[in-house]
Amino acid sequence: MGENRQIRILIVDDEPFITQLLQRYLTPEGYECRVVSSGEEAIKVLESTSFHLVLADIMMPGMSGIDLLTLIRTQYPDVAVLIVTAIDDRETGVLAVELGAYGYIIKPFERNEILINVANAIERRRLALLAREGKGVKTSTGEQVTVRRPPIQVSARKVLDLINSGMDEAALMGELKLSAKALHSLMDQVVAAGLLKQSEVDLRSSLSPGTVVVDLDQAKFPEINKEKPIISATDAAQCIRSGMDDSALMKRYGISAKGLRSLLRKLVSSGVVEQSELDKRMSETHLWAVLED
């Protein structure tokens, strides 16, 4: 309990019963809690006081929990955020995690569930800050562990400007320094945030081949669609092992990010490359997109 004395938590919810319940769970554990009833009020408090964690309801009058999360990720990236959502709004909770929340808790919740999620979020924040500073991390047993770099944060506004300029997927990956998997994740998040329509993304994808057919050293697949490129599996494997990044692979074979994902899946399923080889080169592909003012 003593180790939590310095941990400050901002609770944001317009329901007094919920804020009182959270305080009743967290305060005896040593956490220093402050309560506000709206996202707008939370932003004002964050301007003058530093917090380790914000625990926010997703459905509030005025600024929603998602809006608050987006602003915090942009203006206070060192603050961890946990989202509280209703049982019938689980999809929004998942979206919150994709946008950078450290997790979501479904109402009605229990004391242990709150304490576990809060402790995990605080620990993840600590490891992320250490990783950003390049410091080594040890567990409580003294074992050295590898800390993954925090997710890449990019401006959704910049992404929209680049897309509207007509920039293709390979150029986007090069400009934003993203893999094909990361670009796909970014497009999904931009659509989920309502900044682009799915039809606009589908139209862009249709301008380049959506899938590829892998030529396993002249072994032909039946009913090959002539509009789809035929790629040598041996050549593709050599390019991957040489360190060629996703953007270069897409340019080499004239395929989209979706086509590249199809190619990589087929190379693994056919045994030409190992999944571990792909995991190694895609170890830093998760990201979120946030809006800037």
CATH number at residue 75: 3.40.50.2300
Q: Are residues 213 and 250 in the same domain?
A: yes
Q: Which domain holds residue 115?
A: 2-138
**Can you list the positions of beta strands (E) in the chain?**
8-12, 32-36, 53-57, 80-85, 103-106, 137-138, 144-145, 152-155, 213-215, 230-232, 287-290
> The pTM is what?
0.48
When pLDDT is averaged across residues 35-55 and rounded to a whole number, the result is 93
Hey, what are 137's tokens?
Answer: 């991390």
Which of 56-70, 141-155, 178-192, 235-249 has the weakest average pLDDT?
141-155
pLDDT at position 32 over 90:
yes
Distance CA 205, CA 220 (A): 26
**Confidence (pLDDT) at 221:** 38
Distance in angstroms (rounded) separating the CA atoms of residues 56 and 104: 9
Contact (CB, 8 A) for 147 and 131: yes
Which of 116-130, 155-169, 222-236, 278-292 has the highest average model confidence (pLDDT)?
116-130
Instruction: Please tell me whether residues 159 and 192 are part of one structural domain.
Output: yes
Same domain, yes or no: 10 and 132:
yes
Same domain, 158 and 116: no
116 and 9 part of one domain = yes
Quote the pLDDT of residue 24: 93
Whether the Cβ atoms of residue 173 and residue 261 lie closer than 8 Å to each other = no
Confidence of residue 203 (pLDDT cuts 50, 70, 90): low
| Domain's final residue, options 79, 114, 138 | 138
Residues 163 and 130 in one domain: no
Max avg pLDDT among 46-60, 114-128, 244-258: 46-60
Quote the pLDDT of residue 218.
43
- The alpha carbon of 3 is separated from its chain's Cα centroid by a whole number of angstroms, namely 29
CA dist 99 and 211 (Å) reads: 28
> If you write DSSP's letter for every residue of 243-278 in order, what string do you get?
T--HHHHHHHHT--HHHHHHHHHHHHHTTSS-HHHH
Of 88, 110, 138, which residue sits at a domain end? 138
In a domain, 145, yes or no: no
pLDDT in tens, 103-132: 888 888 888 889 988 998 898 888 877 766
Domain shared by 161 and 250, yes or no: yes
Average pLDDT over all residues of the chain: 75
Q: 3-class DSSP state for residue 231?
A: strand
Question: CA–CA separation, 291 vs 75, rounded Å?
Answer: 10
- Provide the token pair at 98: 């994709």
221 and 278 part of one domain: yes
The reply to whether 12 and 114 lie within a common domain is: yes
Give the percent of the chain with pLDDT over 90.
19
Whether 8 is covered by a domain: the verdict is: yes
Confidence check: pLDDT of 155 > 80? no
State the first-to-last Cα distance of the chain, in angstroms, to the nearest integer. Answer: 39
Predicted local distance difference test score (pLDDT) of residue 4: 59
As for how many domains the chain has, the answer is: 2
Tell me, what's the pLDDT at 251? 77
Residue type, 160: L
Is the domain of 165 the same as that of 116?
no
Looking at residue 229, its pLDDT comes to: 65
CA pseudo-torsion sign 262, 264, 270, 275: negative
Lowest-pLDDT range of 99-113, 195-209, 224-238: 195-209
Q: 108 and 163: one domain?
A: no
Give the best-scoring range by mean pLDDT among 13-22, 155-164, 261-270.
Answer: 13-22
Q: Do 245 and 169 share a domain, yes or no? A: yes
**Final residue of a structural domain among 113, 138, 163:** 138
**Most confident of the following: 10-24, 62-76, 204-218, 219-233:** 10-24
Residue 183 lies in a domain: yes
Q: Shortest CA distance to 255 belongs to which of 201, 207, 198, 203?
A: 207
For residue 31, pLDDT over 90 is answered with yes
Nearest to 178 by CA among 197, 192, 205, 158: 158
Number of residues assigned to the chain:
293
Contacts of 255 (CB under 8 A, 6+ apart): 208, 209, 212, 229, 249, 263
Whether 58 has a pLDDT exceeding 70, the answer reads yes
146 located within any domain: no
